[in-house]
Structure 1
Amino acid sequence: MAMTSNEPRASSESRTLHPDALGLGSVLYLSMAGAAVLAAVITNVPLIASQAGASVPLVFVAAGVGLLSFTPAIVSFSRRSSSAGGFASWIATGLGTRAGLLSGWLMAGGYTLFTTSVLILLGSLLQSALSSYLHFNIPGGWVTYTVLATLLTFGAAVLDISLASRGVVIFMLLELITLLILDTAITLKGGAHGHDLSPWSLAGTSVAGAAPGGLLGLLDGMVLGVWMFVGFDTSAVYGEEARRPRVAVPVALLFSILVLLLLYLWSSYSAVIGFGWEHAADQLGKGGYQSSYQLGARYVGGWFAEVMNILNISSNLACALAFALACGRYLFDLGRKQLLPSQLGSTHPRWKSPHKALLVQALFTLVLVLLLALVQQKTQADGGTSYRLSLSLGEAGWSQTDGTNPYLWLSTTGTMAILLVYILVNLAAVRAWLRQDRQAGRLKLPSLVCSALALLSSLIFALPLASFILPAIPGTVGNYFTSLGFAATPFPLNILPLLVLLWVLGGALLLLRLSSRTQRTPAESVQEE
């Protein structure tokens, strides 16, 4: 019997994920765990406040409009198609196979960066907590903790998916309860100076200490605002492992967006008024993730701040596991479709997990962590910061960068990649809806309304990308957008779009390689059984 070189040699069983392993609740738990609600609020709300000032809730209003307008596309696709390819398989339906494969490549890259960024942040949090509470310091600092957390995370990811879903439930419920207690306490006490509507307007972007502030600060903050929703989409990859996937997946996607939006609106407003909206940047933003602990101690009690610290660590661990699971399935699907080595498209004989894909992802994560461990920083006389890659230690003025900086760089880069995929999903949906109407012989109102929402969503997703890219273009274009109030993002944030571009080019080269393989003559491709 003849076999082409494109066909896998492994048995069908060794290339199959665990069917019917997840119920609706499990898919939803994994989706919420990917968002890491408590950790996202603790870490990212202060970062957004440092950019957008008191208008952090307005950031989530804008991001929420984009995500809610996104729901017709994702619900429509998820009710018709279920695959480990997730968003990539949907894009292939509307825009073609090549667009789908490139989208899967983008999702795999974005998810790998997300996983790595959360593990680095987890290492930084562990270093801070153990040093403060137990006066215990380990050689290598956050890097060592991150390496250990990476081994633990990917070790758990290789196990049966049903075990992983059970493991995240407790952490997810505890972090939700903790966040609700904090928000309720601040709301009932009226914050530091009472309730105020300024955080819901652009006026809040002009508070002291906001950098860059204004409209640009709002757009820059949207990158992290959208990033805080990323994770809800992990449920899209469990179509082959969920029971009744065409119900479980769309319900989990829609419910996650709604719950996350409400929580982020409430939590960001509570954090801003907790310090007083006038001090959103110079106190909330300047204090970093410690600001959230200060709010816990001030409005609930010192013991509650300690609970938040512990649950922040567990929340990040569950988040890293959720992203690793999802990324492993994107890599598995790309291996199955031959864009990547076909070995990645195999599953563990016992646990039915994509163990080889997860191993490759773990190795990539470790290499990236060790590379970022070489980043050193130095504060200049003018207050700016210089960075370099160096093996030397102890040189005057230079120190290893804290894990918070690599977290910001990687999460921002990953968000850009995922935003591109979100836009492609919208465009694929518009094309699919209009194609159906043409086949029916007339345009229908629901298709037109959903298409308009999809285009609005794409525009909103494109705004954060524009704030990074357009001012950095040299010459007339960059000068024009600078005159509108945009400003070039400082190094190293200004080079992050280039990394996404390089990743896209890498995917394009893989597509060319795949195309050249599939176009070989039958005499060249046929092999003996």
Structure 2
Amino acid sequence: MSQSKILPTTTSTSLARRRLGVWAIVFFVVSAAAPLTVVASAAATDFRIAGIGGPGAMLASGVVLMLFAVGFTAMSRYVRNTGAFYVYGARGLGKPVGIGIVFVTIFSYAALCICFYGFVGFFGEMTFSSLFGIELPWTVYAIAAFLIVAVLGYRKIDVGAKVLAVLLTAEVAILLVLSVAVLVQGGPEPVSLASFAPQNVFFAAGSGALFVFGFGAYLGFESTAIYTEEAKDPGRTVPAATYIAIAFLGVFYGFTFWILTVAFGIDGVLKLAMQDDFQDMVFHAGDQYLGAWAGITMRVLIVTSFFACLLAFHNACSRYLFAMGRERLLPAWFGETQEKTKAPHHASLALSALSLLAILVTMLSGADPFLGFALPVYSIGVAGLVLAQGVAAISVVGFFLRDRRGHSVWRVIVAPALGAVGLLIGVVLIALNFDLVSGLEGPVNGALLAPIPLLFVAGVVVGFVIRARRPEHYAELTAYVPDED
């Protein structure tokens, strides 16, 4: 039975074809990683918790993810479906595993999408209060962001890409201008490359924490595959966008983290990291090397950077919900798109409704938008997504072990296997150091992590139940291939 007979025909069940080029997808992916927020928060936290190895850990994490991407992009030629990780898992390790991995991925993307409303609200309130004297509660900024994302998510995807392009360009530009200023003016100590020395990256006390933030800094890079159905020439566009995104983020993070050691010196940056206002480190550098305008600009861009994260993860999660609706693993309503724009409007609406509910519950409960809402929910999303990446890497190996399809052993077996090992080590490090990311102490951290393995197991069980009770439906899973327009 074809997909067209399975789902209602009152609306479209396909996404827009050939709308997104390489750079549009890169903007989605890099915006999801939020480079300014990573540099402003993770760099200072790395220096505070584990010494000067943060720049090297960022590069090392990028290398692991690039190894994964080598096989990931090879497999993208044979997976032309917005379900991405779902289809990777199904083709490589079996359909039940594919369902398990997509349950975890949707949960993680939804958590990440929702948490950024808390970040936008918190930093929006703080920024506009301190800079402009505007005293409004955090919910005003969160709901304003909600309305914009709801409209952009419902409409054409390339509108969102243009918004992300502008925001991303601004936040990258200010950090590069700061970096040039630091290099030209010079810091208080001789330039040192100690931040990249193995003893400070892999063997320092607290080095595990470096990789908690290291892998978290690349969140969303794998979402290039989600846009396969909407990409121009996906066989070229998706691999190119993946490589560009990882390479850019790795170099950018390593370089800008290191610039702070130049700006303040090795001793100076460690001393500054131990102060109460340590997370203002980047802003202090902007004030010192560029003037007060730079610190003000970066504080505003922090808000827009979190908004860019929000829009990127909303787009990604909507497409996973759409794919699962089309597969009838979720209600078919999710698998419908607007006839004119081809946007997954029902999935987007559902995610918007869930996000609004989270904002309202946080507001009514009186919970702190940062510590009580955004940070714990973000932590859950990071843990789940890194696990999903690790299982996807194993799936790539499983897929090509049966038939390498002309690819080299290095590309489709060795590289993704090494990437899988690195990612699964990352999962262990995140679990063991979860309190550093969540900001919470005690058994609550275990409770926050529990849904991730439970959802994976539940997805696998669902797969076996469908195979036993609805074999025709099971046979049709992952079979959808978009028509060539």
TM-score under structure 1 length normalisation: 0.80
Deviation for aligned residue 1:112:
1.2
In structure 1, the partner of 2:294 is 304
In structure 1, the partner of 2:375 is 408
Q: Structure 1 pair 515/490, CA: closer, same or farther in 2 (3 Å)?
A: same
In structure 2, the partner of 1:157 is 153
* Residue 121 (structure 1) aligned to one of 119, 122, 127: 119
Aligned to 1:490, what secondary structure does the other structure show?
A: coil
Q: Which amino acid is the alignment partner of residue 13 of structure 2?
A: R
Task: Provide the aligned C-alpha RMSD in A.
Answer: 3.0
Aligned to 1:80, what secondary structure does the other structure show?
A: coil
Q: Which amino acid is the alignment partner of residue 24 of structure 1?
A: V
In structure 2, the partner of 1:475 is none
How far apart, CA to CA, are the structure 2 residues paired with 1:267 and 1:30? 21
Deviation for aligned residue 1:234:
2.1
- Sequence identity of aligned pairs in percent? 23
Q: Which amino acid is the alignment partner of residue 307 of structure 1?
A: T
Q: Structure 1 pair 470/228, CA: closer, same or farther in 2 (3 Å)?
A: closer
In structure 2, the partner of 1:525 is none
Deviations 1:164-184 (A, max 9, x none): 222222222222211111122
**Aligned pair count?**
467
In structure 2, the partner of 1:247 is 236
Q: How does 1:56-455 map to 2 (within 5 A)?
A: 56-138=54-136, 141-201=137-197, 204=200, 215=204, 217-284=206-273, 286-373=276-363, 391=365, 400-403=367-370, 406-436=373-403, 446-448=408-410, 450-455=412-417
How far apart, CA to CA, are the structure 2 residues paired with 1:506 and 1:366? 27
How far apart, CA to CA, are the structure 2 residues paired with 1:497 and 1:287? 29
Q: Which amino acid is the alignment partner of residue 128 of structure 1?
A: M
Greater Rg, structure 1 or structure 2?
Answer: 1
Greater relative CO, 1 or 2 (CA 8 Å, sep 6+) = 2
Residues 204 and 277 in structure 1, CA contact (< 8 A), matched pair in contact too: no
Deviation for aligned residue 1:190:
3.5
Residues 142 and 403 in structure 1, CA contact (< 8 A), matched pair in contact too: no
How far apart, CA to CA, are the structure 1 residues paired with 2:267 and 2:199? 10
Residues 59 and 222 in structure 1, CA contact (< 8 A), matched pair in contact too: yes
In structure 1, the partner of 2:53 is 55
In structure 2, the partner of 1:527 is none
Residues 383 and 430 in structure 2, CA contact (< 8 A), matched pair in contact too: no
Q: Which amino acid is the alignment partner of residue 420 of structure 2?
A: S
Q: Structure 1 pair 494/348, CA: closer, same or farther in 2 (3 Å)?
A: same
In structure 1, the partner of 2:24 is 26
In structure 2, the partner of 1:483 is none
How far apart, CA to CA, are the structure 2 residues paired with 1:74 and 1:82? 13
How far apart, CA to CA, are the structure 1 residues paired with 2:264 and 2:375? 23
Q: Which amino acid is the alignment partner of residue 290 of structure 1?
A: D
2:427 is the counterpart of 1:465: yes
Q: Which moved more, 1:314-323 or 1:457-466?
A: 457-466
Aligned to 1:179, what secondary structure does the other structure show?
A: helix
In structure 2, the partner of 1:14 is 12
How far apart, CA to CA, are the structure 2 residues paired with 1:345 and 1:307? 41
Deviation for aligned residue 1:25:
2.5
Residues 108 and 331 in structure 1, CA contact (< 8 A), matched pair in contact too: yes
Q: Which amino acid is the alignment partner of residue 118 of structure 2?
A: I
Q: Structure 2 stretches of 5 or more lacking a match?
A: 474-485
TM-score under structure 2 length normalisation: 0.87
Residues 272 and 284 in structure 1, CA contact (< 8 A), matched pair in contact too: no
Deviations 1:430-484 (A, max 9, x none): 12222115x99xxx8x315642222222222122322344699xxxxxxxxxxxx
Q: Which amino acid is the alignment partner of residue 415 of structure 1?
A: V
How far apart, CA to CA, are the structure 2 residues paired with 1:413 and 1:215? 26
Deviation for aligned residue 1:147:
3.0
Residues 96 and 459 in structure 2, CA contact (< 8 A), matched pair in contact too: no
Residues 46 and 287 in structure 1, CA contact (< 8 A), matched pair in contact too: no
Q: Which amino acid is the alignment partner of residue 30 of structure 2?
A: M
Q: Which amino acid is the alignment partner of residue 454 of structure 1?
A: P
Deviation for aligned residue 1:228:
1.4
Deviation for aligned residue 1:201:
3.4
Deviation for aligned residue 1:96:
1.9
Deviation for aligned residue 1:370:
4.0
Q: Structure 1 pair 433/504, CA: closer, same or farther in 2 (3 Å)?
A: closer
Q: Structure 1 stretches of 5 or more lacking a match?
A: 206-212, 375-390, 394-399, 473-487, 522-529
Residues 158 and 351 in structure 1, CA contact (< 8 A), matched pair in contact too: no
How far apart, CA to CA, are the structure 2 residues paired with 1:498 and 1:365? 21
Q: Structure 1 pair 471/217, CA: closer, same or farther in 2 (3 Å)?
A: closer
Q: Which structure carries more helix by proportion?
A: 2
Q: Which amino acid is the alignment partner of residue 152 of structure 2?
A: A
How far apart, CA to CA, are the structure 2 residues paired with 1:143 and 1:462? 37
In structure 1, the partner of 2:483 is none
Q: Structure 1 pair 288/344, CA: closer, same or farther in 2 (3 Å)?
A: farther
In structure 1, the partner of 2:482 is none
How far apart, CA to CA, are the structure 2 residues paired with 1:72 and 1:83? 19
How far apart, CA to CA, are the structure 2 residues paired with 1:363 and 1:157? 12
Deviation for aligned residue 1:412:
2.3
Residues 29 and 220 in structure 2, CA contact (< 8 A), matched pair in contact too: yes
Deviation for aligned residue 1:115:
1.3
Q: Structure 1 pair 515/9, CA: closer, same or farther in 2 (3 Å)?
A: same
Q: Which amino acid is the alignment partner of residue 424 of structure 2?
A: A
Q: Structure 1 pair 154/51, CA: closer, same or farther in 2 (3 Å)?
A: farther
Residues 74 and 412 in structure 2, CA contact (< 8 A), matched pair in contact too: no
In structure 2, the partner of 1:496 is 448
Q: Which amino acid is the alignment partner of residue 130 of structure 2?
A: S
Q: Structure 1 pair 133/89, CA: closer, same or farther in 2 (3 Å)?
A: same
Residues 468 and 489 in structure 1, CA contact (< 8 A), matched pair in contact too: no
Deviation for aligned residue 1:54:
1.6
Aligned to 2:230, what secondary structure does the other structure show?
A: coil
Deviations 1:131-171 (A, max 9, x none): 11232222xx3244223322321221111112222222222
Q: Structure 1 pair 191/70, CA: closer, same or farther in 2 (3 Å)?
A: farther
